[in-house]
């Protein structure tokens, strides 16, 4: 039981309490769209990362100043990374 609890992210106390029973109930549910292990890992990363709410994300296409990043010849003429962003 402790091994099961550890594998599913529960406190491995060896007691089949409410949280363990709830996890066993969900264990019977079918998972579609990926492996259960990959989904658990993805959820762990999502829930443990810093929250982005209230933060501003800035993408700098160049190196600052007059540098506007890479310039390519597009169908309508030259276009830079700064123009795209």
For residue 47, give Cα distances in angstroms to 40, 52, 56, 69, 79.
10, 12, 20, 34, 39
Whether residue 60 sits in one domain with residue 41 = no
What pLDDT score does 19 carry? Answer: 92
DSSP three-state, residue 77: strand
What pLDDT score does 14 carry? Answer: 93
Could you list the residue range(s) of the whole structural domain that residue 73 is in?
A: 52-85
Give CA torsion, residues 57, 61, 67, 71, to 10 deg. -160
Of the pLDDT bands very low, low, confident and very high (cuts 50, 70, 90), residue 84 is confident
Whether residue 69 sits in one domain with residue 32 = no
Whether residue 56 sits in one domain with residue 44 = no
Whether residue 65 sits in one domain with residue 40 = no
Whether residue 63 sits in one domain with residue 35 = no
Q: 17 versus 50: which is more confidently predicted?
A: 17
Number of compact structural domains in the chain: 2
Q: 16 versus 61: which is more confidently predicted?
A: 16
* 31 has a pLDDT exceeding 70: no
* Residue of 7, 37, 45, 46 lying closest to 23 (CA atoms): 7
Whether residue 44 sits in one domain with residue 25 = yes
Whether residue 82 sits in one domain with residue 57 = yes
Whether residue 9 sits in one domain with residue 41 = yes
Q: Output the average pLDDT for the chain.
A: 78
Whether residue 84 sits in one domain with residue 65 = yes
For residue 10, give Cα distances in angstroms to 65, 67, 81, 82.
51, 51, 47, 47
């Amino acid at each position: 039981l402790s091994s099961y609890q550890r594998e599913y992210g529960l406190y491995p106390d060896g007691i089949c309490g409410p949280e363990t029973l709830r996890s066993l109930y969900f264990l019977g549910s079918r998972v579609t769209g990926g492996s259960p292990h990959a989904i658990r890992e993805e959820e762990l990363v999502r829930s443990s990362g810093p929250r982005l709410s209230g933060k501003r994300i800035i993408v700098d296409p160049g190196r600052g100043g007059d540098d506007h990043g890479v310039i390519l010849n597009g169908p309508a003429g030259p276009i830079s990374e700064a123009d795209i962003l």
